[in-house]
Every structure is written in structure tokens, then in C-alpha cells.
Homo-oligomer: A and B are copies of this chain.
Amino acid sequence: MKFSATVEKLNKGISIVSRFVGTRVTLPVLNNVLIATEKGRIKLSSTDLEIGITTWITGKVDQDGAITIPSRLLSEFISVNNDPSINAQLKDSTLKLNSEHFEAQINGIDASEFPLIPKLPTTPFTTLSAAEFKQAILQTSFAAALDETRPVLTGVLLRFSGNVLKMVATDSYRLAEKTLKLERKAEKDLDLIIPTRTLNELSRIIDEESDKIQIIVGENQVLFSFANTQLTSRLIEGSFPEYEGIIPKETQTKIKLKTSPFTNAIKMASFFAREVANNIKFKSTESSLQIIATSPQVGENKSEVEAKTSGKKIEISFNAKFLLDVLANITSKEISLEFLSPTSPGIVRPETQKDYLYIIMPLKTD
């Protein structure tokens, strides 16, 4: 194998794939990134056996070949290298790298030992705007369950129905639902449950250059393809719980607030609520919302934020953390809270994003 490429392109490629490299002692090849030439381009791949990622960069390929190289050392060599481009040449299982000021010989492991990343059909199931998909991931994945008791809840549901995609995550204490319009109707209705980690990694890699993202569905596997990158992941098997029933059909109180001071007040209350399981109380008046935290040991805190309340006044308690989670992912300057009663789930909606909904179970009020 012999090729050259700019440091900038190598750097970007390595930074995309290097996140999926472990530091396992049992299977050292998983600590390595696969470097191979393919149809005149340079292919970089890594996998942790659950997620596999491949990105292609352009360069000058003089001789085809493949090798796997310790990912960390390669990243470091490239990130400190401030020369314009690097030449690479494989000799036996040693990759020789050289640029104007730097030379390296890195011992690799034969490419044949690298695990195969599953091949999937090439026909995309659907195509989405990468930027919209990224926002949908950020607004839902945090609500998924962390504990593995019910594996389906550790993932995000992607429910394709007609030309609508609903993305839903819940840990049974709160639920986030985002609705995306598809440009074209998907070929059939379909539920996919995708591991939260897969989506979070995807959201990290999607950038301005990504534009469109294709979703390709295989047997227990899903592939996301965008720009010059492909990410393959397992799917979570099982059925997602029928969640529509818990979305309140009617509410009796609607409170409109500015997002920023409301977030600040909840943050402050959360400090005082640390020893009472994050339990904070809302008390509505016509023109304001009081946020109250009381801890016998620590002390008390009360904040007041401007609000427009319509309907019945209410006193209701929530876990502050679950509110901060959603507020961190809302860009709308105003939000509304909707309640039926102190014992029914509450709704958080961004005022300018009608396609997003967050449901949160109340706590017992003293």
C-alpha cells in the first residue's frame, strides 16, 4: 500500500473513526483503525463490535493495500503534525509515514484480523435532512432509560408511518416525542429501535457538510450514510410500549414562560433540592410562577418568574433534573407548561416548535 493525503483530511477522517476504538487487551485489533485503499480513495474504519464506522478521504493512491494501526498513536501523530501532507507506505506490517519534518514507523496488525463490518443492502429505506435528524436526536435521546431492565427503553423509537417519522424515547418517568416530515413517503410503515449511544455518536459526527442522511435497514442492523461516512449499528429487538395513551388529551392549566429565566430558576431550585431527590414545587399565580425547593437539612429556596397563566391555578411537583434535561435542548425563547391536575402528567412544549412534546410525571406534593 502506498498513498499520500493532506494532514487536514487525514485528521478529520481519523477524528471521525477514532471514537469507536476501545482500549481492550483481549482483542488488540479493536484498538486499531483499518486503513485501506479503495477505488482510488483511502478508507478508514473502526468498530467496537456494536457500532462500525467507515469514512473515505481523497488522496493520491499509488499502490493498493490494507493494514490496521493503533488508533491513538495514529491520531496523535497526525494531530501534532503541522506539515501540509503525509506520505504513507506499507512494508510488511509496518506503516511508514513521512512528511516534511516528521517520520514514523508504526507497527500494525494484519487487516485480515479486523472484524468484518456487516454489509447492508444499498437501497436506502428513507432519506432525511441531516441537520433536522441531529436536532431530533438531541431532543429525544436524553429521555431514554439508562438501566437495562427493559432493553427497548434504552433505545429511541423511529416510527415511520406514511410521510411522517416520529422519534420517541422514554424511561417511564418522562417521554420525549419529535415529529419529522419525510420528503417522500417511506416504502412501508416500520418501527426501528436504535441504541441511544448510536444516535448520540451520530449526532456528534453530523456537521454542516453532512446535508442529507440515508437510512438503510438490514437484518437486525441499520446503516446511516452521509457525506463520506457510513455508520452501522445493531438494532434493539422487541416492541416499543404503546405510549400514546399517556399523552394527556385535555389540560386545565396553561402557563406561558420565557425559557431562560425559567431554566435559571429551576437550576437554582435543584441546588436546594439535592437532598430531597430533586423534588421541586411549582405554584402558579395569574402573572407568575413560583418555583420552590425545601430541604429540611439545607434550607429553602423560592424564585418567581413572570408567566401568563390561563385556566385553573395549580400546585404541582417535579424532578428538577427531568426539567433541566429538556430545557437544555429547547431553542425556543418561550415555552408552555400544560397541566390537568397535580397527579396527572405535565406537558412541556416549545412555543415555536409545534413538532415537539415532552411529558413528565409529577412527584408527590407535600
Q: What is the interface of chain A, defined by CB distance below 8 A to chain B?
A: 70, 73, 76-77, 80-82, 94, 101-107, 261, 264-265, 267-268, 271-272, 297-305
Report chain B residues within 8 Å CB of A264.
80, 82
Q: Is the CB of A80 within 8 A of B299?
A: no
Nearest CB on B from A282, distance (A) = 15
Q: Is the CB of A298 within 8 A of B70?
A: yes
30 contacts between A and B (CB under 8 A): A70-B298, A73-B271, A73-B298, A73-B299, A76-B268, A77-B268, A77-B271, A77-B301, A80-B264, A80-B267, A80-B268, A82-B264, A94-B299, A101-B261, A101-B303, A101-B305, A102-B265, A102-B268, A102-B301, A103-B300, A103-B301, A103-B302, A103-B303, A104-B272, A104-B299, A104-B300, A105-B299, A105-B300, A105-B301, A107-B299
Q: Is the CB of B298 within 8 A of A107?
A: yes
Report chain B residues within 8 Å CB of A271.
73, 76-77, 80
Report chain B residues within 8 Å CB of A94.
299
Bound form: Cα–Cα A280–B300 in Å: 58
Report chain B residues within 8 Å CB of A299.
73, 94, 104-107
Nearest CB on B from A281, distance (A) = 14
Bound form: Cα–Cα A28–B272 in Å: 17
Q: Is the CB of A101 within 8 A of B300?
A: no
Nearest CB on B from A172, distance (A) = 30
Given A76-B271, A77-B268, A82-B264, 9 more pairs with CB closer than 8 A: A77-B271, A80-B267, A81-B268, A101-B261, A102-B301, A103-B301, A104-B300, A105-B299, A107-B298
Bound form: Cα–Cα A267–B268 in Å: 43
Chain B residue at smallest Cβ distance from A100: B304
Bound form: Cα–Cα A261–B80 in Å: 10
Bound form: Cα–Cα A303–B80 in Å: 11
Chain B residue at smallest Cβ distance from A75: B271
Report chain B residues within 8 Å CB of A298.
70, 73, 106-107
Q: Which 9 A-B pairs have the closest CB atoms?
A: A106-B299, A76-B271, A103-B302, A105-B300, A104-B301, A80-B268, A105-B299, A107-B299, A102-B303
Chain B residue at smallest Cβ distance from A103: B302
Bound form: Cα–Cα A302–B105 in Å: 9
Chain B residue at smallest Cβ distance from A78: B268
Bound form: Cα–Cα A261–B101 in Å: 10
Nearest CB on B from A261, distance (A) = 7
Bound form: Cα–Cα A320–B271 in Å: 44
Report chain B residues within 8 Å CB of A102.
265, 268, 301-303
Report chain B residues within 8 Å CB of A300.
103-105
Report chain B residues within 8 Å CB of A265.
101-102
Nearest CB on B from A288, distance (A) = 10
Report chain B residues within 8 Å CB of A104.
272, 299-302
Report chain B residues within 8 Å CB of A82.
264
Chain B residue at smallest Cβ distance from A303: B102
Bound form: Cα–Cα A257–B102 in Å: 17
Chain B residue at smallest Cβ distance from A106: B299
Bound form: Cα–Cα A237–B63 in Å: 67
Report chain B residues within 8 Å CB of A76.
268, 271
Nearest CB on B from A262, distance (A) = 11
Bound form: Cα–Cα A261–B265 in Å: 49
Bound form: Cα–Cα A275–B109 in Å: 18
